């Protein structure tokens, strides 16, 4: 049997949340999606609030992953410990609340979801994501294993994809908010894309108003990030996974306006 797994790129602001609520379930019905992972770390701009986690699940997410803005809103800390469907990067230090790995039921099979964060350009003393993945993969053995690698450098993401090729079902990148055109299946059967893109305003710079970003590049003082107005997009990828092998047979990018 082929299972269709949907991964949705970083949800940005209230506009991104609203668009997800409108578009996610219709896409799931159209594409016969069995399991959905949404990166929600920018739902409140930087970080997300407990009520926004609820909205993400109500909109159709099965698991919510995070990244470098995991602790952007302190109100989420308790929920990180209590909610097994909310994941932060597994290679955060041992003192960080929450978990970075979970195994979930998906019909007749189990799905493992791993959240990792890169270290190239994201400097906050995270453990090595490659050895963290090795450690996790030595534990439980679900039929499917999915990896959200929240990282800046394309080289680090690609290296992770090849490192895990044949050992996991799919690896996708988040964080840069710009979708890449390199979706495909690696030689040993792992589905891959360097970045899913984002769920948020179309006419923006990574979700914020262009004029605010331009002002910063012209030397203006730092400002609190706002979310741009206007039409939105929901970007991500669908991974078709074979329940016999646990590996990927096809990857399709999605961009829902």
Which residues are part of the catalytic machinery?
A: 69
Q: Are 102 and 113 in contact (CB under 8 A)?
A: yes
Using CA atoms, how far apart are residues 34 and 29, in angstroms rounded to an integer?
9
Residues whose CB is less than 8 angstroms from the CB of residue 208 and which lie 6 or more positions away in sequence, other chains included = 225, 226, 227, 228
Query: Residue 9 in 3-state DSSP?
Result: coil
Retrieve residue 128's tokens: 């090595």
Using CA atoms, how far apart are residues 140 and 135, in angstroms rounded to an integer?
10
Query: Residue 19 in 3-state DSSP?
Result: helix
Using CA atoms, how far apart are residues 90 and 169, in angstroms rounded to an integer?
18
Using CA atoms, how far apart are residues 174 and 207, in angstroms rounded to an integer?
14
Phi/psi at 35 (5° precision): -155, 140
DSSP H or E run through 156: helix 154-164
Nearest-CA neighbor of 91 among 64, 111, 115? Answer: 115
Using CA atoms, how far apart are residues 241 and 213, in angstroms rounded to an integer?
39
- Other beta carbons within 10 Å of 176: 21
Place of tokens 């908010």: 177
């Amino acid at each position: 049997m082929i299972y269709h797994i949907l991964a949705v790129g970083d949800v940005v602001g209230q506009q991104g949340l609203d668009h997800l609520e409108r578009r996610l379930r219709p896409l799931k019905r159209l594409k016969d999606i069995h399991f959905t992972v949404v990166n929600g770390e920018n739902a409140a701009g930087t970080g997300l609030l407990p009520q926004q986690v609820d909205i993400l699940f109500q909109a159709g997410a099965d698991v919510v992953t995070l990244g470098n803005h995991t602790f952007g809103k302190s109100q989420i800390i308790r929920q990180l410990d209590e909610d097994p469907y909310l994941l932060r990067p597994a290679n955060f230090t041992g003192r960080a609340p929450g978990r970075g790995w979970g195994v979930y039921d998906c019909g007749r099979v189990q799905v493992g979801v791993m959240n990792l964060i890169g270290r190239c350009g994201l400097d906050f003393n995270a453990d090595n994501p490659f050895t963290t993945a090795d450690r996790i993969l030595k534990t439980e053995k679900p039929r499917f294993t999915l990896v959200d690698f929240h990282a800046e450098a394309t080289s680090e993401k690609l290296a992770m994809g090849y490192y895990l090729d044949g050992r996991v079902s799919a690896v996708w990148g988040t964080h840069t908010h710009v979708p890449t055109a390199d979706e495909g299946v690696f030689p040993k059967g792992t589905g891959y894309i360097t970045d899913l893109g984002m769920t948020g305003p179309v006419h923006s710079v990574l979700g914020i108003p262009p004029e605010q970003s331009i002002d910063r590049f012209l030397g203006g003082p730092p400002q609190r990030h706002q979310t741009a107005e206007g039409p939105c997009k929901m970007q991500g990828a669908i991974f078709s996974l074979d329940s016999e092998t646990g590996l990927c047979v096809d990857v399709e990018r999605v961009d829902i306006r």
